[in-house]
Structure 1
């Protein structure tokens, strides 16, 4: 068996050696690349005749998948798999597993950080103190007592809800399936429109699919309070970026903190959000902590070993 790790997993060499040593003990050939490529021909060359690959968020288009003669399994070191052509995988009977759960804490913690940063004007305060100014005009708001709408109550949404409950927030939730665990945390499930109308803060935690693309759009963003904050650490196209930028510039909402975009950073210098008012933007870092990277790598290699044993886990297809 040949296993190819198509891109680095943000772990040190010692951890990689420890996680991959069983492959060598099983007699597998293991090849690890230390750079990312989006070139189709280079991807095909790297994968070659591999039986299985490990990939993080490097796009894997159908053109690549269909050109691979021997590929049987993809272990995705990520929760979302919208960057992989799953239809092509189904067509070629290629199994896919993900690394769900590795970043629950990391993402939830960044969401809390973003909310507090916006409510307390932390970035602005950092600027004015360096300019010899005072807090004038920068008196913020407490998180305690705010109504937070959680759109998508999977594992990350629920972890975020747990943290928000500690701060004394009122929790609203919207999901296609109401979770009993969410209700125990204190989430009251409502329609999406009701959530948008009633929430002081809206945080998004849905996967990206046909139903959730542009879930927040120019038609329903007007339902939000003028004082509301929008947080997106889910997927870029869950929101209609142009509509959000317009709502910010027209002060129809108070602010936004966004970690994910319609493309992976780096973003073009003229990106619409760069000129939007009251934005906090981060370069897709919500998942990325030292702890989560090690968890992710372990899950990803566990997927490989389980598949080799004929027992696929964390199954997508």
Structure 2
């Protein structure tokens, strides 16, 4: 794969930046990085920056796709905390469906060999029953607009693959964490680091998570492995933990004991629902497990980092960031 050029969309984001660093610095591959801000300066001379004004059905990708062998499409319209649109699904479709298909069609016409689409576990659904993890080939059951748009993009990509020579690989990550993580995971680390008592000491669910390094490693594997062509893969660390276990492990990684109060789960669910926080309640108290045995069987791939190693790396970055 040493002579290939990889285009990475979303290359300045959490996942895309880590992938770009792995490809350009560690593997010394040529990377094309589409960005909106022409002032962006890449860290590696192996990265060629091209300006792209947006991601929709009208975006012209010709100059960005010149000489590109493979594409990793990680850019997307993601979950919006304070949605202002009267038709959220239409807004998600503009970027996640129409924008994705437009890029893929132009990529196929430009002779791109393989198109890796970073989808979401939300295509499978929002939660799993105990002992019944999602599998890659399960019937999809998305609930929210984001998940629906990702499924529709997957379907259109697979249809395009069937009529062109471009191979499509679909990867559905669960919650990604790692150095530089934001949102709820960062809030959790802040609470534990400050010694805030948390009412989550008796939660017995099972959640699949995935370290940033593990997602990047699977993407790199899928760029070159012949068996990855036209397949769907779920990705996790391969170790499921309860919310309580995650908090305790994170505390250990931060060298700070998590102060957990064992309140009844039913009580917290009632409170969350009364406050209109159903989605948060699901993430905290319900199970969401994935089966990654297909990755092992087809690709001989296992996650290189276990959860304790990955949490330690995440915590180290968090602590060093606070000092600097």
For normalisation by structure 2, the TM-score amounts to 0.36
Hey, which of these two has a bigger chunk of helix by percent?
A: 2
For normalisation by structure 1, the TM-score amounts to 0.37
